[in-house]
Structure 1
Amino acid sequence: MKKRKYALFLALLLALSTFLAACGGGNGGGGDKAGGNGKEDNKKELKVNIKTEPFSMHPGLANDSTSGSVLRNTFEGLTRINKDDKPENAAAEKVDVSEDGKVYTFTIRDHKWSNGDPVTAQDFEYAWKWALDPKNQSQYAYQLYYLKNGQAANEGKAKIEDVGVKAKDEKTLEVTLENPTPYFLELTAFYTYLPVNSKVAQKNPNWYKNAGEDYVSNGPYVMDQWEHSDKIVLKKNDQYWDKDTVKLDKIDMLMINDVNTELSMFKKGELDWAGSPFSALPTDAMESLKADKTLNIKPIAGVYWYKFNTEAEPLNNVNIRKALAYVIDRKSIVEKISKGGQIPAMAAVPPSMFEENEKGYFKDHDVKTAKEYLEKGLKELGLKDASELPEITISYNTDEAHQKIAQAIQDTWKKELGVKTKLGNEEWAVYIEKLHSGDYMVGRMGWLGDFNDPINFLELFREKKGGNNDTNWENPEFKKLLVDSQKEMDPAKRSQMLKDAEKIFVDEMPVAPIYFYTNSWVQRDNLKDVVMSGLGDVQLKWAHFE
């Protein structure tokens, strides 16, 4: 979850479970104790905190978990991940798959956009081709590379009209893939695969920038208000095909960029949820919440890591990168800072996908080996000692936990390696833009899986200029393994190819993994059926108060 991509995950990602914490809503609340019941009977309004302004409310431009948290509840793809963490038919009422696994034919169910227009196969074709069109600069366009000619079109090597998605008629969408993709029906639940009302978008290219009559969606809720940098208000979508399942009338999504304020509001009954995945909990409150038995913790498929700009000196030297990564004290970070049951990460793919990654490829806080790599790197750079290295800036988006982690790593690099660093932070929108433009040295980021397959954590780095790479790193052998794995039908062989790719990735260290995520949160006792997937995202379609 940029994936996921964690966005985030991202104005998100983490303070403790890392990435941003989940929310809850409503006007009633349960006294001073976290988890108390609301005061209102038949409560139909939920109040949550998404912490920051979403990056974009266009499905083709969104690339973080904050945006995804809104889109998953306002739009609906061909499929939706259900309560059992499996894809089920949603906007599509029927799916036929060819014998070779490369052609999917979706029958679109009779349902409407929130403005009353029918949802058509053309709306899906339009949305997917729009995201692949290079002029629209979609960071997540690579999620559509599974489509025949998808990558070629995005790279300007094929025509957009040649992409393998075609509306045969208003209710029939034919999708042709480059290769058989066993998890394709999980992908069609992801927000890059959501439809866009083509009539509205073609009439008003800025339809997605504000709430209003042009911001139309086809999911359980519609956007009623968007007060930028303040809040988003969703209301029940009366045009939704499954509206009888939706019990909430309204969801307030506040943008409070202070986790202590968020938890205080929860305790006062002003929020119904505090913590992941929409926001985060204060790290200093974790022990008391555990003692109160109100803290919820769930391991999820996500990783918190530090990205290296591999074209910035001295991070263009692989041995310097490895020295910085090996010396980090992950155990101390998860026990003393994040405190949410996170697992120290010495690999890129979460243990839920590769079980052996609970141990990883190298030792945590391996000072001896780190110093050996540092000496190699200094020699290659023609330097005598670490004091001659350029000062390294550690960047992070404004957040208590991110700041504490950065300070801890700064102290470790100085104490153990003698490396000079400084810290820099910005609000999310500015921060993510700087990372995407390469204007950083070391940058914090988290990645939540967009779908339940290891390739999602590796394909981010397949292309040097890939939408969510940011590291400027590329390796031909790594890339070939990923490409070939897409064609391998034997699951065991394919899994080994991905493990081989991960080994190359970790050996060249374009990122330093820190820990594997958990979601940590508190919620009202009477708030039920908030569905959190194994990838960490939340759906509010089924949410209700008892």
Structure 2
Amino acid sequence: MNKKLLALLLVLAMSITVLAGCSQPAEEPAEEPAEQPGEQPAEEPAGDESVFLWNVGADPKTIDPVLNGASDGGDVINQTFEGLVREKSGEIYPGIAETWDVSEDGMTVTFNLRESNWSDGTPLTANDFVYSWKRGMDPATASEYAWIWEYTNVVGAFDAVNGGSLDDVGVTAVDDLTLEVKLETPTDYIVSLLSFYHFLPTKQEAVEAGADGAWAKDPENAISNGPFKLTSYEIGGGLTLVKNDEYWNAEEVKIDRIEGKFIDEQSTAFQAYQSGELHFLPDVPPAEIPRLMAEDPNFFVFPLLGTYYYNYNMDLELFQDVRVRKALNLAVDRSLITETMASGQIPAAGFVPVGFLDHEGEDFAEKSGTYGIPTDDSQIEEAKALLAEAGYPDGEGFPEFTIMYNTSEGHQQVAELVQEMLKTNLGIETQLENQEWAVFQDTRKEGDYEMARGGWLTDFMDPMGLLAIFTTENAYNDPNYSNARYDELLSTAAKTRGAEHFEALYEAQEILMTELPVMPIYYYTDVMLVSPDLVGWDRSVLGTIDFSTAELVN
């Protein structure tokens, strides 16, 4: 990497068809599997072995491509699996597919696969993609990412997600090395979307060896097809990946072994990096950022197409009144928060971040406007008036509630700022509660919270990648928001292009920001510390890290 700092608006120049290789709820793993996978101690490295030390962060909920729904799990999966295509730095490269052809009417995409093997030496075929994709659609699998099939426009796929026949899905293995995909409507981003981890292949025999994705953490059953393969996994401790000699591009893989640590405390991981115990640190304590940005050439800040926000639990009477939700939004000074975080984040006045271009080449977020949501403290009086209209003048009688976040110094800092702003500006008292990743995701998904931190990175270069999560019964619709017109608009956007597509999305965001089931705080940036000894690493435009061509030079 020869760039230290990318300008935040660099993403404006990106093609609308580029896929992000990381998505999902930003930084949100969950519970351990019911049965612990085989825990094997890492072997001592040989003297000439290249060993890369990486802090993964929290212990991922799963590293099964079909079941994963978090960025940390996605980073591990990106090292151990490969799909039809691979995305690096905003460009799409051939993966298991050497070439692909799109029919003249845009309704059929044919992928011509290269000869390649699974890590156990058995051939990988087009049928492996058919199996894995249908597994992702199958309601019995209960994949949190099944909703994304609606936006692929693959014939019959979303019907299958909703209980329809898997036999009617338009995905066919013509032969071992030819995969045919039939679409309901031409979909510009379909090829790039398929580099996302949900669409990577899994081997049926391996999957069936362990329930609920446990196979992927078990070295005995973790058969993969990417640059590296799993050889050990210690829950709460770390994992070991070694070079996969069966990988089709193994000659380009320079690292022999990756030791991945599960250190989710930022200051602890930072100390480990400083003492030489880590080569790659995907996050740093907020207090260190100003100094690192000014002094350290190995500190990187990248733009991310994602949004940091808070969910209101829409099932609670406390948040039923939209005047209350709007008052809380107006009382928060987002500029002060981003200045305090000092990582280049952009204050959020909408849900879709800057960086998405519409059919006229205009930035979606800028064209959408601010929806009356300030990025400073200029509308406190309006917030007070709304709260008074709702029956709580100067906050009197407003029930104390809890702001919940997953354990992190950065999340704590934001929560404390929001807590103080609500008290100072509206007279509302709140409590703060933090939970570990494993507990937090389940708590939030079960609706056992009042107001809870959220974060989302888009899965592909289209505003749908963010707005779709608030459709009714989406697995990541944590506020449990439901609006029939909103659902209709997202469905329309999935099946249209150009002006009609974007008009539906503009209207959808207008509804979301009028009803405010969430409180957008800022648009993400990605910060990391990387040892100068590590070269050749890469990341997608949405943050997924790629070590397939990385190398340790010292």
Name 1:293's counterpart in structure 2: 296
Name 2:188's counterpart in structure 1: 182
For 1:272 and 1:285, locate their aligned partners in 2 and report how far apart those are by CA, in whole Å: 18
In the TM superposition, residue 9 of structure 1 has moved relative to its aligned partner by 3.2
Q: Which amino acid aligns with 1:111?
A: S
Measured on the aligned residues, the alpha-carbon RMSD in Å equals 2.3
Name 2:360's counterpart in structure 1: none
For 1:46 and 1:458, locate their aligned partners in 2 and report how far apart those are by CA, in whole Å: 37
For 1:534 and 1:53, locate their aligned partners in 2 and report how far apart those are by CA, in whole Å: 24
Name 2:374's counterpart in structure 1: 363
Name 1:124's counterpart in structure 2: 129
Q: Which amino acid aligns with 1:254?
A: K
In the TM superposition, residue 203 of structure 1 has moved relative to its aligned partner by 4.8
CA contact (8 A) 2:49 2:257 kept: no
CA contact (8 A) 1:4 1:447 kept: no
Q: Which amino acid aligns with 2:186?
A: P
Q: Which runs of 4+ in 1 moved over 6 A?
A: 40-43
In the TM superposition, residue 11 of structure 1 has moved relative to its aligned partner by 4.4
CA contact (8 A) 1:42 1:545 kept: no
Distance 1:204 1:311, change over 3 A: closer
For 1:2 and 1:313, locate their aligned partners in 2 and report how far apart those are by CA, in whole Å: 37
Where do residues 40-189 of structure 1 align in structure 2 (5 Å cutoff)?
44-83=50-89, 85-145=90-150, 146=152, 147-156=154-163, 158-189=164-195
Q: Secondary structure at the match of 1:115?
A: coil
Q: Secondary structure at the match of 2:290?
A: helix
Match of 1:417 among 405, 426, 433: 426
In the TM superposition, residue 428 of structure 1 has moved relative to its aligned partner by 0.5
Name 1:260's counterpart in structure 2: 267
Deviations 1:328-369 (A, max 9, x none): 111111111x21111111111111115363563332233122
Judge which range, 220-229 or 495-504, deviates more.
Answer: 495-504
Name 1:312's counterpart in structure 2: 316
Q: Secondary structure at the match of 1:136?
A: coil
Name 1:34's counterpart in structure 2: none
For 1:483 and 1:471, locate their aligned partners in 2 and report how far apart those are by CA, in whole Å: 20
Segments of structure 2 that go 5 or more residues without pairing to the other structure are 1-18, 31-43, 358-362
For 2:161 and 2:289, locate their aligned partners in 1 and report how far apart those are by CA, in whole Å: 45
Deviations 1:502-528 (A, max 9, x none): 111111111111111111122112321
CA contact (8 A) 2:447 2:479 kept: yes
Q: Which amino acid aligns with 1:162?
A: D
In the TM superposition, residue 99 of structure 1 has moved relative to its aligned partner by 2.1
Q: Which amino acid aligns with 2:317?
A: E
Q: Which amino acid aligns with 2:220?
A: E
Match of 1:535 among 531, 542, 545: 542
CA contact (8 A) 1:2 1:9 kept: no
Distance 1:394 1:218, change over 3 A: same
Distance 1:440 1:178, change over 3 A: farther
Distance 1:296 1:183, change over 3 A: same
CA contact (8 A) 1:115 1:213 kept: no
In the TM superposition, residue 377 of structure 1 has moved relative to its aligned partner by 3.0
Q: Which amino acid aligns with 1:360?
A: T
Residue 441 in structure 1 maps to residue 468 in structure 2: no
Name 1:197's counterpart in structure 2: 203
For 1:433 and 1:4, locate their aligned partners in 2 and report how far apart those are by CA, in whole Å: 21
Residue 324 in structure 1 maps to residue 328 in structure 2: yes
Residue 302 in structure 1 maps to residue 306 in structure 2: yes
Name 1:518's counterpart in structure 2: 525
Deviations 1:287-346 (A, max 9, x none): 22123233321112111111111111211222211111221111111111x211111111
In the TM superposition, residue 388 of structure 1 has moved relative to its aligned partner by 2.3
Name 2:486's counterpart in structure 1: 478
Deviations 1:170-194 (A, max 9, x none): 2222222232211011111001101
TM-score, scaled to structure 1 = 0.88
Q: Secondary structure at the match of 1:502?
A: helix
CA contact (8 A) 1:260 1:282 kept: yes
Deviations 1:142-199 (A, max 9, x none): 112222222222222x112222222233222222223221101111100110111013
For 1:160 and 1:373, locate their aligned partners in 2 and report how far apart those are by CA, in whole Å: 50
CA contact (8 A) 2:25 2:457 kept: yes
For 2:444 and 2:141, locate their aligned partners in 1 and report how far apart those are by CA, in whole Å: 19
Q: Secondary structure at the match of 1:167?
A: strand
For 2:91 and 2:293, locate their aligned partners in 1 and report how far apart those are by CA, in whole Å: 31
Distance 1:75 1:112, change over 3 A: same
Where do residues 460-475 of structure 1 align in structure 2 (5 Å cutoff)?
460-462=469-471, 464-475=472-483
Name 1:487's counterpart in structure 2: 495
Q: Which amino acid aligns with 1:250?
A: R
Q: Secondary structure at the match of 2:132?
A: helix
CA contact (8 A) 2:279 2:533 kept: no
Q: Which amino acid aligns with 1:58?
A: D
Distance 1:174 1:329, change over 3 A: same
In the TM superposition, residue 207 of structure 1 has moved relative to its aligned partner by 5.2
In the TM superposition, residue 10 of structure 1 has moved relative to its aligned partner by 2.1
Name 1:18's counterpart in structure 2: none
Name 1:372's counterpart in structure 2: 385
CA contact (8 A) 1:313 1:390 kept: no
CA contact (8 A) 1:2 1:468 kept: no
Distance 1:345 1:10, change over 3 A: same
TM-score, scaled to structure 2 = 0.87
